[in-house]
Amino acid sequence: MSYIVIATSNAHKVQEYAKLIGDEKVELKSLLDYPGFPGVEENGATFAENAAIKALAACKYCDVPAFADDSGLEIAALDNRPGIYSARYAATDAERIARVLGEMEGVTDRRARFVCAIAIAINGEIIESFEGEIKGTIGFTPKGTNGFGYDPIFIPDGMTRSFAELTDAEKNAISHRHNAFVKAQEFVEDQMSVLDEDFN
């Protein structure tokens, strides 16, 4: 069977994408299957650049088609911070949330969005990249225990519950990652005959 590598060693992410991809057409591998992968510095200026850096490095090292994602939270009143620094904004999820809530104290414009970029690399080149988003607002206190990261303070537009108060299925049906993935999936299905030649 043809296969594609996702450029991550995060087992949670691998599982999430395995569910999205299904296993009929293509088998998903990850950097967990390539323990010698030397790693790569995510020094891009945008989510798309970071996704491309990771996808290219994995494609070149594993010598098969690869894709990668990069995601984060952009808050309008904070000039889109934490943005590409979302994972590095503080040491733990709780501290990252506390930092954001501190910076948002007294701020009435609570608009924010989660963004996810996905890049696909084949034969050592980026062939396409996609972006998904979900818009919402930043709450005043953390709520809920599901999910991860900034979920307890992100309330999607049209809802009253935070991402961390939604079930996995509810979040996965509307998330930025899902929205980027759907675009990537449509592209891959359209191009399947071309990709098949490269896969084999």
Which chain residues interact with ligand IMP by CB under 6 A? 69-73, 86-87, 114, 147-151, 163, 175
Kindly tell me which of 137 and 195 has the beta carbon lying closer to ligand IMP. Answer: 137
Least distance from ligand IMP to the Cβ atom of residue 24, Å: 26
Kindly tell me which of 58 and 195 has the beta carbon lying closer to ligand IMP. Answer: 58
Least distance from ligand IMP to the Cβ atom of residue 115, Å: 8
HEC letters along 118-173: EEEEECCEEEEEEEEEEEEEECCCCCCCCCCCCHHHEEECCCCCCHHHCCHHHHHH
Residues annotated as catalytic are 70
Kindly tell me which of 77 and 174 has the beta carbon lying closer to ligand IMP. Answer: 174
Cβ neighbours of residue 88 under 8 Å, at least 6 residues apart?
A: none
Is residue 71 within 8 Å of residue 176, measured between CB atoms? yes
Residue of minimal Cβ distance to ligand IMP: 149
Rounded to 5°, angle at Cα 3 from 5 and 36: 40
Strands 3-6 and 66-75: parallel
Least distance from ligand IMP to the Cβ atom of residue 53, Å: 12
Q: Return the biggest CA–CA distance within the chain.
A: 57
Q: How deeply is 43 buried, as exposed, middle or buried, from its count of CB atoms within 10 A (0-12, 13-18, 19+)?
A: exposed
Kindly tell me which of 30 and 71 has the beta carbon lying closer to ligand IMP. Answer: 71
Is residue 87 within 8 Å of residue 114, measured between CB atoms? no
